[in-house]
Structure 1
Amino acid sequence: MREQPTWRIPAGILGLLAALTLYGVAIASYAPGLIGEWPTLAQTLVYIVLGVIWLLPLKRFLSWMETGNWNPPQ
């Protein structure tokens, strides 16, 4: 447990919020034009995948926020 605060946590939270906002705007802007004519079930599946895919790099990002190292501990 660390005894002193680090700049990485507030910077990481702001960076995460900015990245998620950009990702959401990009998906909301481009996805309807690409999949708007697809059947509803197919659109639902695409939006579910796009809604979960941002979680993939999250473990490494949170590891950096806590330790300053991009590789999560094993």
Structure 2
Amino acid sequence: MNEPTWRKPAGMLLILLLIAIWSVAVVMLVEELGLPLWASGIAFVAGGVAWLWLFPMKRLLRWMELGSWR
């Protein structure tokens, strides 16, 4: 059994920090645009899925598991 590395707790903290920062940024942007409620919902979902999960999270999760960014 492999022993846990420092990358997993550090990665979890970084994930939480990224989620907090991104959430505040998206809320501020959507409020600034003054979109209707239905469009705001679509913007929140699209922003969350596209940026948070597809781009940096994929690399971060890979780094946590393998220790490599590629």
TM-score (norm 1): 0.76
Aligned to 1:52: 49
Aligned length: 68
Using CA pairs under 8 Å that are at least 6 residues apart, name the structure with larger relative contact order, 1 or 2: 2
- 1:44 is displaced (CA, Å) by 2.9
Q: CA 1:69–1:10 in structure 2 vs 1: closer, same or farther (change >3 Å)?
A: same
SS in 2 for 1:70: coil
SS in 1 for 2:5: coil
RMSD between aligned residues: 1.7
Aligned to 1:21: 20
Which runs of 5 or more residues in structure 2 are unaligned? none
**Structure with the bigger percentage of helix:** 2
Identity among equivalent positions (%) equals 38
TM-score (norm 2): 0.80
Which runs of 5 or more residues in structure 1 are unaligned? none
2: distance between equivalents of 1:10 and 1:20? 15
Equivalent residue letter for 1:26: A
